[in-house]
Amino acid sequence: MHPALFFIFGGIALAGAINLLVQRAPIYSALSLVAVMGALAVLFLLLGAEFIAFIQIIVYAGAIMVLFVFVIMLLNADVPEPTRRSKVAQAIGYPVMALLLVELAGFFAAAFGATPVRTGGYLVQVAAVGQALFHEFLLPFEVTSVLFLVGVTGAVLLAARREERHGAAPRATRVHAGVPTRAMAEALSVPPNAMGGAVIEPAPQPESEPAHARAQGDGR
């Protein structure tokens, strides 16, 4: 049972990886990578790593690849035009890659060819992972939270448009300019008539809001 499952899902992973390499449009490469990740999750289950297998599906194939697909759609990424350097890279690169692969595979076959892998006899996986994560790996685990904080802040800062970053003040006033209630004007600590229009009390007529907002925008 184990060899059959290994060869089926290993073959799927291999086919997905080769498809990733030969496809030219990025969206097909991303979808091939999702197939590779799914097949690898089955191989992780065969090796007894349940926690890693499900994290692979949920985080990798679910979250990270959705981010990739969003960015591909956002940038409208299509087949790139070929350039001269890519031909040179392919002519030199494929033999070198094949050489590296033969070296690695030869080493692995020589060193670990006799070590058998069986199904069954696994460690108590999820509980053991939790125990190790919160005892001996506690400091790296906490440091990853700092890493994520820095990553999120950096991603928002990098992906923000430049003109919005420099012109933050007019945008903020425009958000508030729709219905300037007296409480809002007091919170902004400006006199009520300084927002460029009549200050209306709460419970206004809602259908006059767009015209009101437009008049305020012109007054700015």
Partner 1 sequence: MIPLSYYLILSAILFCIGVAGFFFKRDIVSIFISIELMLNGVNLAFVAFSHALHSISGNLFVFFVMVVAAAEAAVGLAIIIAVVRARQTLNVDRMDLMKL
Using rule CB under 8 A, residue 89 touches partner 1: yes
Q: Which stretch binds partner 1 (CB under 8 A): 58-66, 164-172, 190-198, 206-214?
A: 58-66
* Length reported for the chain: 220
Q: Is 86 in the site for partner 1 (CB under 8 A)?
A: yes
Least Å distance, CB 30 to partner 1, is 6
**Contact flag: residue 8 with partner 1 (CB under 8 A):** no
- Residue 97 vs 183, nearer CB to partner 1: 97
CB of 184 to partner 1, least distance (A): 33
Q: Residue 12, interface with partner 1 (CB under 8 A)? A: no
Q: What is the DSSP code (8-state) at residue 178?
A: S
Query: Exactly one of 12, 35, 42, 71 binds partner 1 (CB under 8 A); which one?
Result: 71
Side chain identity at residue 56, one-letter code: Q
Give the Cα separation of 18 and 33 in Å (integer).
10
- The answer to the question of residue 60 lying near partner 1 (CB under 8 A) is yes
Q: Tokens 């800062």 map to which residue?
A: 157
If one asks whether residue 51 binds partner 1 (CB under 8 A), the answer comes out as: yes
29: tokens are 């490469």
Question: What is the C-alpha to C-alpha distance for residues 112 and 101, in angstroms, rounded to an integer?
Answer: 16
**54 binds partner 1, rule: CB under 8 A:** no
Residues in 132-161 that interact with partner 1 by CB under 8 A: 132-133, 137, 140, 144, 147-148, 150-152, 154-159, 161
Q: Which of residues 95-134 bind partner 1 (CB under 8 A)?
A: 97, 100-101, 104-105, 108-109, 111-118, 122-123, 125, 128-129, 132-133
Closest Cα to residue 16, out of 32, 27, 5, 29? 32
Number of residues this chain uses to bind partner 1 (CB under 8 A): 84
For partner 1, give the closer residue by CB, 55 or 213: 55
Q: Which stretch binds partner 1 (CB under 8 A): 2-10, 173-181, 189-197, 201-209?
A: 2-10
Could you tell me the smallest distance in angstroms from the CB atom of residue 169 to partner 1?
22
Question: Alpha carbon of 12 to those of 17, 34, 39: distances in Å?
Answer: 9, 11, 6
Q: Tell me the C-alpha to C-alpha distance, in Å, between residue 21 and each of 25, 32, 172.
A: 10, 9, 46
Q: Print burial letters for 98-135: b (CB count within 10 Å at least 16), e (below 16).
A: eeeeeeeeeeeeeeeeeeeeeeeeeeeeeeebeeeeee
